[in-house]
Amino acid sequence: MEESFDVIIIGAGATGLMAAAQLASKGNRTLLLEHNRQVGRKILISGGGRCNFTNRIVLPNDFHSENLHFAKSALSRYTPQDFINLVESYKIPYYEKKLGQLFCESSAKDIVDMLLAECKKYGAEIRLGQKILSVEKVDEQFILKDFKQSFLCSNLVIATGGLPLESLGASDFGYKIAKQFGLKTTTTQPALVPFVLFEDFSILSGVSLPVEIAVADRVIADDLLFTHKGVSGPAILKASLFWNPSDSFIINFVPGIDLADLIKKMKLQRPKVGLENYLKEFVPSRLIEKFKERYSWPVKILADLTFEEIERVATQLSAFKVTPRDTEGYRKAEVTKGGVCTSELSSKTLEARKVPGLYFIGEVVDVTGLLGGYNFQWAWASAHAVGEAILPWQD
Ligand SMILES: Cc1cc2nc3c(=O)[nH]c(=O)nc-3n(C[C@H](O)[C@H](O)[C@H](O)COP(=O)(O)OP(=O)(O)OC[C@H]3O[C@@H](n4cnc5c(N)ncnc54)[C@H](O)[C@@H]3O)c2cc1C
């Protein structure tokens, strides 16, 4: 059996569903293929089940990519407000948690239902449990085959996402298609992911505190959480996006203060206070206990500390160097850093420069957002760009 469509999209996650609705709304005969038995499984678990579907402010600097300018075109043509308008048109209740992060009030399912309703409204067809075994391009047509039939289309959109959570349907299909058609991909690695450390910090497991992390050319301020295996929390997840294997980063456990300067002043103002007790005013006591033992801190009152001891303690707390053993991998990562090389794609249409009619959108592309709704905004915006680019064939 053989069926023909204007556009076929592979992958019914956030990007694929949005693209299917956008493309069908332009009058394209659109087919969306998903190998899971359910669409949008990552949307459903995202944001702790409430889906942080966008951020009020989205800037190029909120992303990692070999070319930070690449995402600008799509992001400027479909803004957070455009998606908020869509959400509001479906009367989905939402709220701002912090730092512009918008979440569903009741459930992430509201977003999946909205995208499905959009697909239905414009007549995009969705087929589930659909595994594509081969893709080839003959003349102007793409021919997709499963074990019993062929699908023909003049435009093929790859929206198969990244590698985290194979149990939810993640696959390397998109990267393989890119390679098959001669397109470069950048190195991929798990990101927005906790780190495993060489040193055992499990005694601090559960301790959380605000920190500042200097990683590569970024400084990230947010909360850090010690785990049984190492470190996690929003500051660490964000830092993982800019970290490269075997690199180090620096944690400041006392952000916003000059600890050495403060202790020197307190030597005069509160001379009888013990060093340990004074530090507990800034950092959780379990961390102080651990560092005291690790660095053999002097057991002294502030008055008795030498300037050299003060500088040493302050540096140990404000410039703690970490070289992670590894990340916790794709089982715990929220996204894949890297993907189809931006130099291979048009930033306006997301079409492969070398292969007319072939498009890559969403997480499969080397555009990866920080924690905070940026990855979904890239999904919506890149889907919209493709929706603007592909128009039905006019006789
Ligand atoms: C736990 C978790 C929480 C997250 N929370 C947030 C959040 O709150 N806010 C945010 O902005 N981002 C969040 N993210 C990231 C966000 O989910 C992704 O960046 C986004 O889903 C990417 O959309 P996508 O459509 O490109 O890929 P996906 O959503 O992964 O969709 C890809 C689809 O393609 C299908 N597929 C794969 N291979 C094939 C194949 N060979 N044939 C057919 N179908 C295939 C998959 O089954 C899947 O349905 C979170 C991620 C995780 C893992």
End-of-domain residue from the set 310, 328, 346 = 328
Separation CA 54–CA 75 (nearest Å): 12
Residues 245 and 367 placed together within one structural domain of the fold: no
Q: How far is the CA of 355 from the centre of ligand 1 (A)?
A: 25
Q: How far is the CA of 54 from the centre of ligand 1 (A)?
A: 14
Residues 158 and 220 placed together within one structural domain of the fold: no
Atom of ligand 1 nearest to the CA of 374: 11
Residues 154 and 248 placed together within one structural domain of the fold: no
| Average pLDDT of the segment spanning 123-140 | 96
CB 366, CB 241: distance < 8 Å:
no
pTM: 0.96
Separation CA 256–CA 40 (nearest Å): 41
- φ/ψ bin of 282: left (φ > 0), alpha (ψ from -120 to 50), beta (otherwise): alpha
Predicted pLDDT at 392 = 84
Q: How far is the CA of 313 from the centre of ligand 1 (A)?
A: 44
Predicted pLDDT at 277 = 95
Separation CA 158–CA 177 (nearest Å): 8
SS3 (DSSP) at 16: helix
What are the tens digits of pLDDT across the range 242-280?
Answer: 999 989 999 999 999 999 999 999 999 999 999 999 999
SS3 (DSSP) at 293: helix
What are the tens digits of pLDDT across the range 79-115?
Answer: 999 999 999 999 999 999 988 999 999 999 999 999 9
Predicted pLDDT at 1 = 87
Q: Could you tell me which of 158, 239, 153 has the C-alpha nearest to residue 192?
A: 239
Q: How far is the CA of 193 from the centre of ligand 1 (A)?
A: 15
Predicted pLDDT at 359 = 98
Residues 76 and 181 placed together within one structural domain of the fold: yes
Q: Could you tell me which of 253, 256, 196, 250 has the C-alpha nearest to residue 228?
A: 196
State the total domains in the chain: 2
CA dihedral sign, ordered 97, 101, 105, 106: negative
Atom of ligand 1 nearest to the CA of 52: 8
Does residue 58 lie within any of the structural domains?
yes
Q: What residues make up the domain containing 279?
A: 194-328
Predicted pLDDT at 394 = 61
What are the tens digits of pLDDT across the range 50-72?
Answer: 999 999 999 999 999 999 999 99
Compute and round to an integer the Cα radius of gyration of the chain: 25
Does residue 395 lie within any of the structural domains?
no
